[in-house]
Amino acid sequence: MLRPKRMKKFYVAVPRDKEDDVIEALGRLGVVEFIAQARAGGRGDSELEAYASFLRLFDRIGIALNSIDEILPREEVKKPFLQRLRDAFKARAVRVGAERISIDGLKGFLEEVDAEYNRLTSELDEKRRRLSELAVLIDNVDVFRRNNVALDIMGDYTHIFVKAGFIPAVNVDKLMEALKPFNVVVSIMEGRPRENFLLIAASQKDKEGILGVLTALNFEEIVFPEELPPDPNEAYNRLVGEREGILRDFSRLREEFERLRERFYPYLRYVRFMHRVKSMLVRTRNFSVVYGWTPSEKVDEVRAAVERVTDGVMHMEVSDPRPDEKPPTLLSQPPLLNRFQLIVRMRGVPNYNEIDPTIPFTILFSIMYGMMFGDVGQGVVLFIIGQLLYRIRRPLLGISYSALNRLGAILSTASIFSIIFGFMYGESFLVHFMKPMWLNPMEEPLEIAVAAIVFGLIQLNIGLILNIANNIMNKNYVEALLSWRGLLGMVYYIIGIILAIRFILGNMNLAVFGAPENLPLVMVELALLVFSLFKPMVAGILTGHRHPLSESLMEGVSEFIEMFLSYITNSISYIRLGAFAIAHVALATVAEVLSHSMGFLPAYLTFNIIVILIEGFAAGIQSIRLLFYEFSTKFYMDEGRLFQPLKL
């Protein structure tokens, strides 16, 4: 529980004809992270190409469906609120199967499905092209219809020519000026946004000059297919009817593509798994070799699974991680603590040789949340909200339901501590309903501030102890003993706490530091500070990794400043725990004052909602901040990578 699961590295060699059986067996166990190895060409590459073709075709069908969805009008069915609420707690059916399919069967499947896909795609492209043409035609015919102009008016006649089209509105005046030398008839009518509809008739002898003017002024000529009737209303209705027919064809094509995609689902998970794993294998003439990581307690299961499908014809070797290797990190805690790994993962992935921070994160986060948000009634409300989030089975507000479940478990746990501290403060729904079992933050602000700082001091020392343990496990003995976050820094911090307490008890008189009982502590404190300046140099000598003197001194100055300032600022940061507790009680006082003018129920109902929404969220943010920036910076390496087994 205090460390990530111990991992073993293994390789297993099996006969080539048992390769698929072994891979499937390991996939169904779901406890192996496969290690990619260099591959040589051969039969395996043709298998990989078949799997890759399957996945590419599946993705292309999805792209085709998305393109159809962008064209078809969306029909949003607004479900009643209660129905949507009930749906949020119902798990969606899982459609992806893991049915086995042979390579020959896969190739036959692909040949058949690919032919159908090509047929549907060809029809889809043709319909899409025609729909694009119709969109232009309908817009143009609509302009003629609105201006009551026949479609066959354009053309070349014996003595004149007639043209129609669009011209930018800003060019209309320039057009009229340029056409003055010619004998023309021009009609400017309503067209498209920022463009006018232009109908122009002129003599054939002026055609070349007029066309030059129109081209220079960005005239866009309209030409209709000959099969369209001249009546714009009739033409418009015909085109709209054709468009509706094509949209019906799109709906039919969507159904056919969806049915085609449905044929992939029984094999999809299997193919994805096999494609991923087979790209990592090593093959010889007669054997296939699988490399991977697995938890140490699962080694026997892995061995038994391989022996079972190979009838014992296999060779397996297991080894511990080498010092230069970086094993994956598997964090495993009881179910409730596992939910708090959401916070751990936000901070990063622990190093394999590092203490799993889940337990301290869980305990400290919950206590800090309760201390800042101590209220019995509101804690019960938060517990109910947490339980609802824990039971959601659909994504909400762009957050996956698994993340919401973890968030719900965290909120439920933290709310229990809110209830506990609510009894300690005597608060429920912003009402002081009982004599506090511990402190009244409003009446004893100094005591609650001191309690918050004391809690912070304890928490920071826990962080230092964890850092010492981490460095020892990683054999960084010099850092464990001499760094400002190691034993030396811890001694400095504890002595500093003792001197600070005596300074406060001595009425903050500097003469306290010269007292006989304090002077040795002051001398040790100063000596530790001075030593921090030379610590990089000493560490270089002890480890044999010497650096230039200037570089060592600069690092020492940095460590001196960090050691002197960091502990002070980090300790003071914890006063926010008491400040939030005082603010909570202060809001209760405001609600009481307003209740005389607003009425008891409206005032307390309004303020309880505000406090739950704002302060409840803020307390969580502040708790995470203290964990991340004050506590975990003392020990957290954040250099690991998650154990990611492939599961079939």
Q: Which pLDDT band holds residue 38 (cuts at 50, 70, 90)?
A: low
pLDDT value for 528 = 86
pLDDT 10s digits, 106-128: 999 999 999 999 999 999 999 99
pLDDT value for 458 = 94
14 has which bridge partners?
288
What are the angstrom distances between the C-alpha of 390 and each of 1, 82, 235, 412?
A: 23, 18, 59, 9
Token pair in block for residue 449: 């501030």
How far is residue 288's CA from residue 17's CA, in Å, rounded to a whole number? 9
pLDDT top residue among 320 and 76: 320
User: 138 and 222 in contact (C-beta within 8 Å)?
Assistant: no
Q: Is 506 exposed, middle or buried (0-12, 13-18, 19+ CB in 10 A)?
A: middle
User: 381 and 365 in contact (C-beta within 8 Å)?
Assistant: no
User: 256 and 121 in contact (C-beta within 8 Å)?
Assistant: no
What are the backbone angles phi and psi of residue 515, rounded to the nearest 5°?
-65, 145
Length of the chain: 648
Helix (H) or strand (E) holding 562: helix 549-573
How far is residue 9's CA from residue 151's CA, in Å, rounded to a whole number? 79
How far is residue 171's CA from residue 185's CA, in Å, rounded to a whole number? 17
| Structural domain boundaries in the chain | 1-37+280-330, 41-134+236-268, 136-235
Token pair in block for residue 325: 């290797």
How far is residue 556's CA from residue 489's CA, in Å, rounded to a whole number? 14
How far is residue 427's CA from residue 305's CA, in Å, rounded to a whole number? 58
How far is residue 72's CA from residue 250's CA, in Å, rounded to a whole number? 7
Among the four given CATH numbers 1.10.3430.10, 3.40.50.150, 3.30.70.240, 3.40.50.300, the one describing domain 1-37+280-330: 3.30.70.240
Mean pLDDT, rounded, of the chain: 89
pLDDT 10s digits, 566-592: 888 899 999 999 999 999 988 888 888
Nearest Cα neighbor of 179 from 152, 151, 155, 198 is 198
Q: Which pLDDT band holds residue 627 (cuts at 50, 70, 90)?
A: very high
pLDDT value for 540 = 75
Is the model's pLDDT at 598 over the cut of 90?
A: no
How far is residue 98's CA from residue 107's CA, in Å, rounded to a whole number? 17
Is the model's pLDDT at 638 over the cut of 80?
A: no
Q: Which pLDDT band holds residue 85 (cuts at 50, 70, 90)?
A: low
Report the 10 Å Cβ neighbour count for 301. Answer: 15
- The proportion of the chain whose per-residue pLDDT surpasses 90, expressed as a percent, equals 57
Q: Which pLDDT band holds residue 404 (cuts at 50, 70, 90)?
A: confident
pLDDT value for 109 = 94
pTM: 0.80
Q: Using the Cα atoms of residue 233, residue 237, residue 239 and residue 240 in order, give the sign of their dihedral.
A: positive
Pairing of strands 7-15, 315-319: antiparallel
Residue 178, amino acid: A
Q: Is 311 helix (H, G, I), strand (E, B) or coil?
A: coil
Q: Residue 81 gets which letter from DSSP?
A: H
How far is residue 167's CA from residue 636's CA, in Å, rounded to a whole number? 68
**How far is the first Cα of the chain from the last one, in angstroms, to the nearest whole number?**
27
Fold agreement between 1-37+280-330 and 136-235: yes
163 has which bridge partners?
200
What are the angstrom distances between the C-alpha of 517 and each of 36, 57, 198, 504, 523?
A: 64, 81, 102, 15, 11
Helix (H) or strand (E) holding 290: strand 287-295
Q: Which residues, 6 or more positions from 419, have their beta carbon under 8 angstroms from its beta carbon?
A: 370, 375, 376, 379, 380, 383
Of 40-44, 118-122, 627-631, which one has max mean pLDDT?
118-122
What are the backbone angles phi and psi of residue 238, rounded to the nearest 5°?
-65, -45
How far is residue 533's CA from residue 526's CA, in Å, rounded to a whole number? 11
pLDDT 10s digits, 188-223: 999 888 999 999 999 999 999 999 999 999 999 999
Is the model's pLDDT at 58 over the cut of 60?
A: yes
Q: What is the mean pLDDT of residues 355-366?
A: 93
Q: Which residues, 6 or more positions from 433, have their beta carbon under 8 angstroms from its beta carbon?
A: 376, 426, 427
Q: What is the mean pLDDT of residues 431-439?
A: 90
Q: Is 287 helix (H, G, I), strand (E, B) or coil?
A: strand
User: 360 and 462 in contact (C-beta within 8 Å)?
Assistant: yes
User: 196 and 101 in contact (C-beta within 8 Å)?
Assistant: no
Domain boundaries 136-235, CATH class? alpha beta
Is the model's pLDDT at 41 over the cut of 60?
A: no
pLDDT 10s digits, 465-474: 999 999 898 8
Is the model's pLDDT at 40 over the cut of 60?
A: no
The structure tokens 């140490």 sit at 296
